[in-house]
Amino acid sequence: MAGITTHVLNTMTGRPGADMRIDFSVFEGDRWRLVKSVRTNADGRTDEMVLKPEDTKVGQYELLFYVDEYFAKQGVTNADSFIEKVPVRFSVFDTKQHYHVPMLATPWSCATYRGS
């Protein structure tokens, strides 16, 4: 499988990051163009692929994770919020490959990597 997928995990609770908004953009010319906004399902994944294999081109992509909004909905209130909206920017260098780009987040830390 090729294309782009993601997965949000709330590593504060060890649970999937459900109902988190993610804005997906592509770098075109000299700017980022918003392609779509999606929300994670109960498993922290998106119902459909973020980008299908046939639509994937070599280039730069961005996933903007609404981490602050997610934790606010979870009832996590902290006056000195540190992690808010987190952009992850990465390149697709081979459209035959699959790019799984997860987000592991707490209000004070986040991590991403090329997964599978």
Partner 1 sequence: MKLDYTSRRTFLATGAALGASAVLSQRAAAQAAQPATSTPAVPGRLTFHGIDTWNGATIGTLRVDIAMLDGAQYRSIKSFDTATNGRSDGALFEGPTFKPGRYELTMHVADYYAALSTKLPSPPFLTLVPLRFNIADANQRYHIAVLFGPWSYAYYRGS
Of 2, 18, 35, 83, the one binding partner 1 (CB under 8 A) is 83
Write down the least CB distance from residue 3 to partner 1, Å.
15
The count of C-alpha atoms lying within 13 angstroms of the C-alpha of 51, restricted to the half-sphere facing its C-beta, is 29
Based on the shown chain and the rule CB under 8 A, indicate whether residue 55 belongs to the binding site for partner 1: no
**Side-chain-side CA neighbours of residue 93 (13 Å):** 3
Q: Which of 47, 77, 98, 100 binds partner 1 (CB under 8 A)?
A: 77
d(CA 93, CA 48): 22
Q: Smallest Cα–Cα separation from 103: which of 48, 72, 63? A: 63
Chain centroid, CA 112 distance in Å: 9
28 contacts partner 1 (rule: CB under 8 A): no
State which residue, 49 or 63, has the beta carbon closest to partner 1. Answer: 63
Please give the residue ranges that form the binding site for partner 1 (CB under 8 A): 11-12, 58, 60, 74-87, 89-91, 93-94, 104, 106-114
